[in-house]
Amino acid sequence: MTSQTDLAALLCSRLCHDLLSPVGALNNGLELLADESDPEMRKRCIELLEQSARTSASKLKFFRLAFGAAGGFGDRVPAEEPKELLQALTANDERLTLAWSVAEPTLSKPAVKVLLNLAAMGLDALVRGGTLEVGAESRGGTTEIAIRAAGPKVAFDPMLGQALAGRLPVADLSGRTAPAHMVQMLVQEQGGGVQHAHTPEALVLGAVLPDGEGMIG
C-alpha cells in the first residue's frame, strides 16, 4: 500500500491541477483589467474576476473537507456542509443539475469524505453536462452512500474503477486516481465496501460504511 506521504503528495497534485484553471483566469483577468480603459469592458473583467475568485474559493473549501481535516474537531459533520460545497461547484455551469437526497442532519467524517470524492468523480464523468444525484442514509449503525451521474455522455476512466476496487498497483497511482485510492482506504478501514457501475449514459457509485471509530483526518 502507498505511504501516507505518497498519497498526500498525489492528492496535492490533484488539488493544484484543479485550481490551475480558476487561478490562471484570475491572473489573466488582472492583466486585461490593467490594460483596459473602456468602462464596459472593465466591468466585464471585474465580473470574470469575481467568478474566478468564487470558483477558486469553492474548490479550496471542497478539497479541505474532501481531503483534509475540516469540519471541526467532532466526529460528525453537518450534512449542509457537503451540500453547500457541491452546490457551489455546480452553480456556475448551467449544464449541471444537483439533486440532493440526504435526510441525515449529520454524517461521520469518513462518510463525508467518501461522499464528496465520489461526487467529484460523478461530476468529472458528466463531460457534456447532466444530473448528479447524491444520496445518503444511516440505518442500523451503517451509512449507505449512493451517487448517480446521468447525462448525454458519461465518461469514466477504468483506472478509477480499479483504484476504487483496490486493484490498481501503487506504482500506477496518479493525481487523478489518488482520490479513488483514498476512498478505498477509508471504506476498508471502516470495514465497509465500495462499488461502481458504468454505462455511456450513467455512472453509479456506492459505498457502505459501518459507523466505526477509525478514520483518516
* Eight-state DSSP code of residue 217: -
Query: Residues 177-187: pLDDT tens digits?
Result: 999 999 999 99
pLDDT (tens digit per residue) in 110-160:
999 999 999 999 999 999 999 999 999 998 889 999 999 999 999 999 999
**Cα(33)–Cα(52) distance, integer angstroms:** 14
Question: Which of 30-39, 94-103, 167-176 has the weakest average pLDDT?
Answer: 30-39
User: Contact 114/217 with Cβ under 8 angstroms?
Assistant: no
Nearest partner of 132 among 160, 156, 157, 151, judged by Cα: 151
**Mean pLDDT taken over the chain:** 89
Distances from the Cα of 28 to the Cαs of 6, 43, 55, in angstroms?
33, 15, 15
H or E stretch covering 150: strand 142-150
pLDDT digits (tens, 9 = 90+) for 18-74: 888 888 888 888 888 888 888 888 888 898 899 889 889 999 999 999 998 654 445
Which residues lie below 8 Å from residue 94, measured CB to CB, with a gap of 6+?
none
Average pLDDT over residues 193-216: 85
- Which pLDDT belongs to residue 6? 82
Q: How far apart are CA 83 and CA 77, in angstroms?
A: 11
pLDDT of 216 above 60: no
Which one-letter amino acid corresponds to residue 123?
A: L
Go through the domains of the chain in sequence order and give each one's CATH number.
4-210 (3.30.565.10)
Cell of 202: 450513467
pLDDT at 208 over 70: yes
Stronger pLDDT, 100 or 76, i.e. the higher one? 100
pLDDT band at 214 (very low <50, low <70, confident <90, very high): very low
pTM here is: 0.86
Give the tens place of pLDDT for each residue, 78-89: 999 999 999 999
Looking at residue 123, what is its pLDDT? 97
Local confidence band at 212 (pLDDT 50, 70, 90 cut-offs): low
